[in-house]
């Protein structure tokens, strides 16, 4: 009798979602009270440890948004600086809960037979570029024939460079360094005539050079580099929570919900039962949060923490930052870009 009651209560719980969502990772994060987020830490605009000991940037804000969504507090993030070679091992071993480390999504990284990680939505559409000193007179790939090029080892850029140069039959010398610091030090030391990386990263690093104007980004874009946050394979519930938190930031921009007006929007949604879409999105109505294993108000918490995607972009890499990158591919789909959130329904 008692047993059947218990069984019945379990069944009804499972039917409603919520506690029925099984995620070891999310339980670990909740019991720890902190989200451990793997970042670069040295890349202005994406994740950069400032002099005051706080991290800033688009990737760091992704960590904050996820922490706000799952724990309700964007500051409950423990950042872990990882270099390109360490990042996947750190994720696979569970040392970090997620990566927001300007990581390009590729087939071999995604697949179970490769690195076996699970990617969320792309937060920055990038492409590989080359930077050279203005004084060198280098304008195209062909000018680099027989010259040394600096590259960070363990990155997709290393491979793309090899592929592009092979396609065009240009011989060159790749000089590989383990960290970005060493790579750019060798470039600034004049060991290489050019350095290659994602165009956003080149722009970011250039902004911290002693003379940013003395270096140009070549117009050539050598690859597609969708920079994407990632979690470990094998915990689909955690991957979903990560995915939809990022989508919520996209959707918020589309709906015009900002860090400043999110509280007012929630109040408006609560007051007006006719705004069904908005009510569902902000967790006033329905059980989206429960279905994901997150609190009902995870969307307004995330937006209140870091703002919508447009705000994050402008603040960290766009017009409001030293990088001054164009939105380009990273505009909303309605404006001709690739930022697109599936419906919250």
Partner 1 sequence: MSDIQRVPWWRDRRVVPWLVQGAVGVAILVVIALLLGNLVRNLTAAGLLLTWRWLGQPASFDVAESLIPFDASMPYWRVLVVGLVNSLRAIVVGLVGATVLGTAVGMAAFSGNGLLRRLARVYVEVIRNIPLLLQLLFWYFVVFLALPNSTAALQWPGVVLSKSGLYLAWFADGFQWQGPTLVNDVWRAPLRLSVEFSALITGLITYTGAFVAEVVRGGIAAVPRGQWEAATSLGLHWSATMRTVVLPQALRVIVPGLNSQYISLAKNSALAVAVGYADLYSVSETTLNQTGRALEVFLLLLGAYLLIDLVISVLMNGVNQLVQIRER
Asked whether position 89 contacts partner 1 by CB under 8 A, the answer is yes
Side-chain half-sphere of 72: how many Cα atoms within 13 Å?
6
Torsion of CA 140, 144, 150, 155, to 10 degrees: 60
Closest CA to 341 of 123, 127, 37: 123
Residues whose CB falls within 8 Å of the CB of residue 86, separated by 6 or more in sequence, listed in order: none
Please report, as residue ranges, which positions from 162 to 181 form the binding site for partner 1 (by CB under 8 A). 162-163, 165-166, 172-178
Member of 59, 97, 126, 158 binding partner 1 (CB under 8 A): 158
Is residue 84 at the binding interface for partner 1, with CB under 8 A as the rule? Answer: yes
Q: How far is the CB of 234 from partner 1 (least distance, A)?
A: 8
According to the binding rule CB under 8 A, does residue 108 interact with partner 1?
Answer: yes
Contacts of 116 (CB under 8 A, 6+ apart): 92, 232, 233
Does 258 engage in binding with partner 1 (CB under 8 A)?
no
Across the chain, which distance is largest between two alpha carbons, in Å? 85
Contact 330, 339 (CB under 8 A): yes
User: To which H or E segment does residue 118 belong?
Assistant: strand 117-119
Cα–Cα distance measured from residue 64 to residue 54, given in angstroms and rounded to the nearest whole number: 12
Q: Which 3 state secondary structure label does DSSP give 84?
A: coil
Given 22, 24, 54, 85, the residue binding partner 1 (CB under 8 A): 85
Find tokens 């009270």 and name the residue: 33
Residue placing its CB nearer to partner 1 in the complex, 158 or 253: 158
Closest separation in Å from C-beta 243 to partner 1: 21
The reply on whether position 51 binds partner 1 by CB under 8 A is no
- Using the contact rule CB under 8 A, the part of the chain among 25-33, 42-50, 111-119, 335-343 near partner 1 is 111-119
Per rule CB under 8 A, count of chain residues that contact partner 1: 39
CB of 105 to partner 1, least distance (A): 14
Q: Is 116 in the site for partner 1 (CB under 8 A)?
A: yes
* Residues forming the site for partner 1 (CB under 8 A): 84-85, 88-89, 92, 108-109, 112-116, 146, 148, 150, 153-155, 158-159, 161-163, 165-166, 172-178, 182, 185-186, 189-191, 234
């Amino acid at each position: 009798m008692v047993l059947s009651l218990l069984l019945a209560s379990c069944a009804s719980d499972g039917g409603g979602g919520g506690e029925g969502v099984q995620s070891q990772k999310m339980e670990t994060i909740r019991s720890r009270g902190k989200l451990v987020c793997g970042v670069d830490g040295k890349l202005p605009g994406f994740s950069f440890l400032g002099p005051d000991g706080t991290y800033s940037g688009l990737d760091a804000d992704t960590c904050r948004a996820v922490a706000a969504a799952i724990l309700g507090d964007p500051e409950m993030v423990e950042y872990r600086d990882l270099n390109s070679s360490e990042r996947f091992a750190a994720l696979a071993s569970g040392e970090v809960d997620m990566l927001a480390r300007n990581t390009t999504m590729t087939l071999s990284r995604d697949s179970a037979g490769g690195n076996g990680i699970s990617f969320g939505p792309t937060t920055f559409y990038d492409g590989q570029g080359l930077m050279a000193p203005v004084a060198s007179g280098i304008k195209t790939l062909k000018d680099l024939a027989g010259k040394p090029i600096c590259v960070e080892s363990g990155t997709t850029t290393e491979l793309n460079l090899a592929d592009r140069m092979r396609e065009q039959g240009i011989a060159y010398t790749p000089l590989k360094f383990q960290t970005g610091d060493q790579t750019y030090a060798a470039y600034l030391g004049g060991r290489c005539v050019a350095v290659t990386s994602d165009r956003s990263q080149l722009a970011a690093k250039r902004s911290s050079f002693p003379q940013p104007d003395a270096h140009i980004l070549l117009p050539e874009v050598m690859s597609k580099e969708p920079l994407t946050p990632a979690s470990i394979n094998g915990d689909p519930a955690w991957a979903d929570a990560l995915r939809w938190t990022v989508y919520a930031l996209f959707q918020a921009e589309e709906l015009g919900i900002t860090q400043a007006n999110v509280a007012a929007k929630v109040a408006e949604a609560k007051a007006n039962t006719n705004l069904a879409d908005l009510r569902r999105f902000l967790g006033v109505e329905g059980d989206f949060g429960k279905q994901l294993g997150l609190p009902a108000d995870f969307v307004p918490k995330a937006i209140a923490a870091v703002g919508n995607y447009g705000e994050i972009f402008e603040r960290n890499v766009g017009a409001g930052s030293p990088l001054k990158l164009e939105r380009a591919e990273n505009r909303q789909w309605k404006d001709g870009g690739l930022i697109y959130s599936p419906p919250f329904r």
